[in-house]
Structure 1
Amino acid sequence: MTYSIAPARQTSWLIWRTATWRRVGADLAYILPGFFVSIASFTALVALFTLGLSTLVIWIGLPVLVACLATARWFASVNRSALRRWAGDIPPVHYRERQKYSIGGMFKNLADPQLWKDFIHGFLVSFPLRTATFCVTITVLAAALGGLTQWFWMRFLPEGNTSLAEIIGLDTYLGVSPVTAEYWLGLVYGAVLVLLLPFITHLLAVADAAVTRALLTNETAALRARSEELATSRAQVVSEEASTLRKIERDLHDGPQQRLIRLQMDVEAAQRQLGKNPEAARELMDGALEQSRAALTELRLLSRGIAPPLLADRGLRTAVESLAGKSPVPVAVTGSLAANVRIVESAENAAYFVVSEALANVAKHSGASQAAITVDANPTELLIEVTDDGCGGAHAGKGHGLAGLVDRLAGVDGSLEIISPAGGPTTLRTTIPLRG
């Protein structure tokens, strides 16, 4: 994704256009409050930094310096919010994970380079830059307004005042009185400044935004951290998948495979007994039938971890409706995702297993009398919500089925939110991005 320092480029800077004045208003709303934020940040950071540095020798300064950088981070978040309102999307920012407030932990917190960039911005850069920006902006606004209204307020000046037009000889050049020449001069430079106002305010805002973006965002570090997080989550998913496959292989060998072997032996024995001892053959066939039923039950249990052909053939909505139809608890399926509408395969698989595990929990543990599934999709994300009117208390603790869903969703950058107070109801809300 690309980010620009400024908002969408102006198609026209004509002063009589409404869009031009909206742009001027947005620039002023970014420039003027920023000056007061810079005063507050400069004052707070100067006090904390000097106090921390002067008392560092007796160790009191260490937590003070940590507090100084935490304050700088807070002011940086305020500045980033202002930049985001003005420019729209801005690059991400990454901070190292906060450590415990032990001696070693505080030293590690002080080693975060982004915190020091926040400090430099709030302590050394923003205050002088925004002071100059504020002064230029106020001067231009005052001069433009003063020039355009000079014909009104000049009459209140004391007599004998020497005007600028008279000093430069404009009255002599135009052959008019000094007062008239001053009126015309004010109107001219006021009109010129009004025409230049959009360019001046936008240039000052862009300069401030460029400095803020350079110091208060670190897209490379953020992307690197995100890449490491995704690599870790994907490695965990691969490990979980491998573990699941080994478990399925073991369960197939110890369960259905042994039962099918026993079934084959019983059928062969029944064939041998069929002619000479029909009663014994019937007993063997009854046993074989029982073995086949047990094998089918075990295969169904094992297949819970494998995506069904229905999902691959007809899509998520149809597969979810199939799960709802098989649930012992009545389930209503709603949402904007229509049948036979296909989305990213990995998202479909993850969403299917979320619904499958959620409905299994509803049936086994919730004591619910009814449940509902909402499946919504838009161009950027898939939203799944499963609710029931059961007893509540669901959580994603280790050893529970929902914990496996968290790991599975991590592989597709998805998130799982569980709202399940004691006494119910329970809501499982899943979000899976469909882009990137």
Structure 2
Amino acid sequence: MSTDTVPTDRPDDATAILRPELPGNASSANMTTTTTDAAPLRRGYGALWAKVPREFGFLILTMPIAIIGLVVLSTVFFTGLGLVTIFVGIFLMVASFYIARGFGTLELIRLRWAGRPEIRRPAWARDGREQGFWRSAFAPFIDGHYWLYLLHTLVINPIVSIVTWSITVAWTSVALAGTTGWIWQPFIPTGDRTFWLNEWLVDRFLPGNELTYDPVVGERILEVILGLVFLATLPFVFRGLTLLHDVVARGVLGAWRSEALEVEVAQLAASRGAAVQAEDASLRRLERDIHDGPQQRLVRLQMDLATIERRLEQDPGSAKALVGEAREQAREALDELRALSRGFAPPILQDRGLAAGLESLASRSPVPVIVEVDLADGLLPAPIERNAYFIAAELLTNAAKHAEATAIRLRVGTRDEGPAGHWVDVWVTDNGHGGAAPTPGHGLAGLDERVRGLRGMLVIDSPPGGPTTIGAHVPYVPLGASGTAAGTVPGVV
């Protein structure tokens, strides 16, 4: 994982901490910055001509590659099929499956090079099918993709390639010969030629005409007209033929939609598991905090009240002093309970929103905190606000306790990544000694589980000597964008 701008110099105060830039894109695996090309895209007929060289290179090589694949694969596959009874044939058939996979992958690479959108490839190693020698050897027999790749290389691609290659050669030949024939044809002897296509067309469409002209000149003019027509339509033909290969490859060589659903289900299951673990850890910590804090004070308060009850008549002065201590114990217990209640839903967060909650959070920090809030997308769903608050609280607490920092910068913002969805980013930068890492059983590890439970990611950049930059990135659905504006894993609040 990477961040865009990480502070490199250790500042002396909060105003010197550099502002971390928000990443431009997010995925389940990493965070990277993407840039868009400001130059306008070429469109229309000119855009078709711009891709003609690549599409021609793709089409002209299609049939030679298809024939080579057919010859090599049919030799290995059918030889293996014939020798399958002596066991050697099985390994030849396995080799043929991998050869088919290689030619199919080459077709996908060539289509991408020709300018077609990338086709998602099958997940060959799913379910651990290619882990270990024997699994890798016999996986093709139970994987439908290998059989489809075999069918594509043996049957489909040779047939389609012969058709598209023939049309490509014929169309290109007519276009080039027609537009340039008037230059080189005068140097070729015509012999005793008696049939002229231009004369036949004139007699066909103008029967009984008495036109007198040189048939050789008429033939040259007709060839130029045909050449210009074929040349003008050349980009459309190349695009159509390339698109035909693309459609075939998407249907036969591409990954299945069911595989994407399997991956999504697995990710959701992992996210839910991480969320359950994070919530379980939070409950255990809350139980420990209640046991060590308010519960102990309430036990002492009960004991003080019992003592007061015994001394009230015999020693009123001593009882009065104990009443003051009991009142102080009750106040401290109440303060601790209020502090713990913020772990559920801080009242200021519910009443005034995330920005006010973060300001209140920063004001209670023992280390000076600069707060920057940029919620460009408006109101966030309540579960996202709560989780962003808790994440910020955990990061500020870690920085104050462990980083030995003298200044902290907290930045919370939202961004719209288009197809990638909406994201809320929580950045905390401190000028401490660095070296922060998600050690199992400690705060950052639990925070990482919490963020992953929200289908987000935690980015940590903390070199020795500091400074430390930690960013939590969580996806969400804006209010009003769907039927349920939750933006979190179902069941996680």
TM-score, scaled to structure 1: 0.75
**Which residue pairs with 1:25 in the alignment?**
50
Q: Is the Cα–Cα contact under 8 Å of residues 337 and 375 in structure 1 kept in the other structure?
A: yes
What is the CA-CA distance between 1:228 and the residue it aligns to? Answer: 3.1
3-state DSSP of counterpart to 1:329: coil
Q: What CA deviation, in whole Å up to 9, does each residue of 1:257-305 have, x standing for no partner? A: 34224325535754775674324521452365256436634763x4464
State the partner residue of 1:102. Answer: 132
1:378 aligned counterpart, secondary structure: strand
Confirm or deny: 8 A CA contact 2:358 2:389 kept in the other structure. Answer: yes
Instruction: Describe the SS at the equivalent of 2:370.
Output: strand
CA offset digits 1:176-199 (Å, max 9, x no partner): 223212122113322332454354
Moved more, 394-403 or 213-222: 394-403
- Which moves more between the two structures, 26-35 or 308-317? 26-35
> Residue 148 of structure 1 contacts residue 186 of structure 1 at CA under 8 Å; is this kept in 2?
yes
Gaps of 5+ in 1: 1-16
Q: Which has the higher helix share?
A: 1
1:289 counterpart (325, 328, 335): 328
Match of 1:149, SS? helix
Please give the alpha-carbon distance, in whole angstroms, between the structure 2 residues aligned to 1:295 and 1:272.
Answer: 25
Per-residue deviation, residues 336-359 of structure 1 (Å, max 9, x unmatched): 425x93123333333333322222
Does the 8 Å CA contact 1:237/1:410 hold for their aligned counterparts? yes
Which residue in the other structure is 1:153 paired with?
184
Deviation by residue 1:228-257 (Cα, 9 ceiling, x = unmatched): 321342244235435644653565356423
- Report deviation, 1:58: 11
Shift of 1:39: 6.3
Aligned equivalent of 1:225, options 258, 263, 270: 263
Counting matched residue pairs gives 416
Name the residue aligned to 2:27.
none
1:19, distance to aligned residue in structure 2 (A): 0.8
Would you say 1:381 and 2:406 are equivalent positions?
no
CA contact (8 A) 2:198 2:219 kept: no
Name the CA shift for 1:229/1:34 in 2 (closer, same or farther; >3 Å).
farther
Separation of aligned partners in 2, 1:335 and 1:364: 24
Correspondence for 1:278: 317
Give me the whole-angstrom Cα distance separating, in 2, the residues matched to 1:37 and 1:130: 6
The gaps in structure 2 that reach 5 residues or longer are: 1-41, 204-208, 478-486, 488-493
Q: Does 1:136 align with 2:174?
A: no
1:138-217 to 2 correspondence within 5 Å?
138-158=169-189, 160=191, 162=193, 165=196, 169=200, 175-215=212-252, 216-217=254-255
Mapped partners of 1:50, 1:316: distance in 2: 68
Change (3 A) 1:376 1:161: farther
Which digits, 9 at most, give the CA deviation of each residue in 1:382-421, with x for residues without a partner? 2333333333322234212222233322333212222233
In 2: Cα distance, 1:345 partner to 1:119 partner: 52
8 Å Cα contact 1:233-1:410 kept in structure 2 = yes
2:398 aligns to what? Answer: 361
The 2-side partners of 1:22 and 1:49 are apart by: 39
SS in 1 for 2:196: helix
* Partners of 1:41 and 1:397 in 2: CA distance: 54
Pick which of 409-418 and 310-319 moved more.
310-319
- 1:144 to 1:57, Cα distance in 2 relative to 1, 3 A: same
Contact kept? 1:45, 1:68, Cα under 8 Å? no
- Over 3 Å counting, the alpha-carbon distance change for 1:22 and 1:306 in structure 2 is same
Task: Give CA-to-partner distance per residue, 1:41-81, whole Å, 9 cap, x none.
Answer: 98689879978997984999799789758856864763574
Aligned residue in 1 for 2:467: 425
Q: Which residue of 2 aligns with 1:11?
A: none
Q: Does 1:86 align with 2:116?
A: yes
Which residue does 2:375 correspond to in 1? 337
CA shift at 1:323, angstroms? 2.7
**3-state secondary structure, aligned to 2:116:** helix
SS at 1:428 equivalent = strand
2:444 corresponds in structure 1 to 402
Q: Residues 350, 164 of structure 1: CA spacing in aligned structure 2 closer, same or farther, 3 A cutoff? A: farther
Displacement after TM superposition at 1:140 (Å):
1.7
Question: Would the aligned equivalents of 1:394 and 1:420 in 2 still touch at CA under 8 Å?
Answer: yes
* RMSD after superposition: 4.4
Q: Distance in 2 between matches of 1:390 and 1:126?
A: 62
**Aligned partner of 1:318 among 356, 368, 386:** 356
Counterpart-to-counterpart distance in 2, 1:334 and 1:217: 44
Residue 226 of structure 1 deviates from its aligned partner by 0.8
The one-letter amino acid of 1:23's match is L
CA distance in 2, matches of 1:153, 1:261: 109
Scaled by the length of structure 2, the TM-score of the pair is 0.67
Q: Name which of structure 1's ranges 224-233 and 93-102 shifts more when overlaid on structure 2.
A: 93-102
Q: 1:67 to 1:388 in 2, by over 3 A?
A: farther
Answer yes or no: is 1:411 the counterpart of 2:411.
Answer: no
